Amino acid sequence: MTVFDAHFAAALQKRETAGTRRSLRPVTRETGAILRDGQRLIDVSSNDYLGLADHPLLRERAADWALRYGTGARASRLVCGTLDLHHAVEEKLARFKHCDAALLFASGWQANASVVPALCALSVAQTGHPMIVFSDRLNHASLHHGCAAAGVRQVRFRHNDLAHLETLLKREAATPGLRMIVTESVFSMDGDRADIPALRALADRYDAFLYVDEAHATGVLGPHGQGLSGGLADLTMGTCSKALGGMGAYIAGSRLLCDYLINHASGFIYSTALPPAVLGAIDAALDVIPGMDTERTTLLGQAETLRPLLNNAGFDTAESTTQIVPVLIGEAQRALDVATALESEGLLAVAIRPPTVPAGTARLRIALHAGLQDADIKRLAEAIIRLAGNEQ
Ligand SMILES: Cc1ncc(COP(=O)(O)O)c(C=O)c1O
């Protein structure tokens, strides 16, 4: 018992009533398979888009580096946690992203949540005024968290509406302080893309810094899976936890940017360095990803097969053009019911509900992966149409 228990219970009851209470449901993993309660499932919910979490080279290098260098980095980067392995992986990441430098973080959430405040502090230090942060309305929670931690009021533009962004940039043109545009390149819950060249042009016109979260584009889109921001963003955040099949994240950009973050990003300074096994998986992923054009083509082809099957049956898949295909359901409880029914048929298509997505837009978030067969896509579409279709 804690003195807060009655409050915890009341808050959870509120979620329960709204159909948005979250809980943890374990799965079992075997190579290439996912099971729940002994049932083998087809996974269309993970972010392991290229199947690298099962790749032998990643497993081997992760195990090898753990055996050779130990299980932990033992300290934060600035104390004595920086191994030569961190520098080698950062140099490899910088080459992958065609940037001068890269800096590893423990996770994508931690990177966004601490890099945004570090950049905001730059504005205060250099101009005496808060950073003006222009954010896409659908930006990931970690980016919003970073703004909240910095105490800045975000200027939010309508999702992917660059005319609206320009109106806001103009409106704030005389406001003192540095300015920064923050977006995802592929939106995690909608699977649509930001127009990065157009954002670059706006950033140049209004003297803004362009911050691009490439969590879902890295490994999947752009030349050799490099993402969509190549040479255009001032800062790219990429995760190693999705298509790279591991864990951790990185910031890629200029050497000065990375040096600044080493000195100012609290989530970098006050957190233990990534351990050798994690570095080994990242290192191996970077070796295999450039050569996976066939898998990338297969993956995007699957999405191109799935979308019209659903759209022709009256389902809304938003503006998806990527491996993430949302199937909009509407009410949270109904999305949950459809996901449960799909699971009973062997399909793991998890429901995403508010507050992760806006109210009334609960959805199945279909995240495809290159290991799926054509028959899986057809089976999935048929099941969604049959189980969710009658109330469309
Ligand atoms: C757009 C976006 N940014 C950042 C993150 C956080 O990355 P990580 O899972 O590595 O913490 C996610 C994860 O879901 C994401 O979707």
pLDDT tens per residue across span 102-157: 999 999 999 999 999 999 999 999 999 999 999 999 999 999 999 999 999 899 99
Q: Is the CB of 190 under 6 A from ligand 1?
A: no
Please state the rounded mean pLDDT for residues 355-384.
96
Q: Is the CB of 242 under 6 A from ligand 1?
A: no
Report the CATH number of the 23-50+292-391 domain.
Answer: 3.90.1150.10
- Ligand 1 mutation pick, 142, 274, 350, max ligand atoms within 8 A of CB: 142
pLDDT digits (tens, 9 = 90+) for 345-355: 999 999 999 99
Work out whether strand 347-348 and strand 351-352 pair parallel, antiparallel, or are unpaired: unpaired
Task: Give the residue numbers marked as catalytic.
Answer: 47, 140, 184, 188, 213, 216, 242
Does residue 171 have a pLDDT over 80? yes
Residue nearest to atom 7 of ligand 1 (CA): 108
Task: At 355, give phi and psi (nearest 5°).
Answer: -85, 5
Residue nearest to atom 10 of ligand 1 (CA): 108
What's the gap in Å between 186 CA and the centre of ligand 1? 11
Question: What is the atom index within ligand 1 of the atom nearest the CA of 47?
Answer: 14
Question: Which residues are 103's β-sheet partners?
Answer: 251
Give residue limits of the domains in the chain: 23-50+292-391, 56-290
Residue-level pLDDT at 42:
96
Question: Tokens 């520098």, residue?
Answer: 87
56-290 folds as Aspartate Aminotransferase; domain 2 (3.40.640)
Residue nearest to atom 4 of ligand 1 (CA): 108
Identify the DSSP state of 357: S
The two structure tokens encoding residue 297 = 């083509």
Please report which residue ranges of 248-351 form alpha helices under DSSP H.
255-264, 266-269, 276-288, 293-312, 332-344
**Coil/strand/helix, residue 300:** helix
Does residue 392 have a pLDDT over 70? no
pLDDT digits (tens, 9 = 90+) for 87-115: 999 999 999 999 999 999 999 999 999 99
Task: Give percent of the chain above pLDDT 90.
Answer: 95
Residue-level pLDDT at 389:
83
What's the gap in Å between 122 CA and the centre of ligand 1? 24
What's the gap in Å between 239 CA and the centre of ligand 1? 7
Q: Is the CB of 214 under 6 A from ligand 1?
A: no
Residue nearest to atom 15 of ligand 1 (CA): 215
User: pLDDT tier at 19 (50, 70, 90 boundaries)?
Assistant: confident
Residue-level pLDDT at 30:
84
Residues comprising the chain, all counted: 392
Residue-level pLDDT at 31:
78
Work out whether strand 208-213 and strand 179-184 pair parallel, antiparallel, or are unpaired: parallel
Find, among 163, 175, 238, 172, the residue nearest to 201 by Cα. 163
Please state the rounded mean pLDDT for residues 206-218.
98
Find, among 146, 145, 151, the residue nearest to 124 by Cα. 151
What's the gap in Å between 243 CA and the centre of ligand 1? 11
Q: How far, in Å, are 50, 70, 74 from residue 275 at the CA level?
A: 23, 8, 8
User: pLDDT tier at 390 (50, 70, 90 boundaries)?
Assistant: low
Residue nearest to atom 16 of ligand 1 (CA): 188
Q: Are 87 and 73 contacting, i.e. CB atoms less than 8 angstroms apart?
A: no
User: pLDDT tier at 313 (50, 70, 90 boundaries)?
Assistant: very high
Q: Are 199 and 183 contacting, i.e. CB atoms less than 8 angstroms apart?
A: yes
Please state the rounded mean pLDDT for residues 316-335.
96
- Cβ-proximal residues to 369 (8 Å cutoff; 6+ apart), any chain: 43, 44, 46, 48, 49, 50, 51, 299, 323
Q: Is the CB of 238 under 6 A from ligand 1?
A: no
Residue-level pLDDT at 358:
92
Q: What is d(CA 57, CA 373) in angstroms, rounded to the nearest whole number?
A: 23
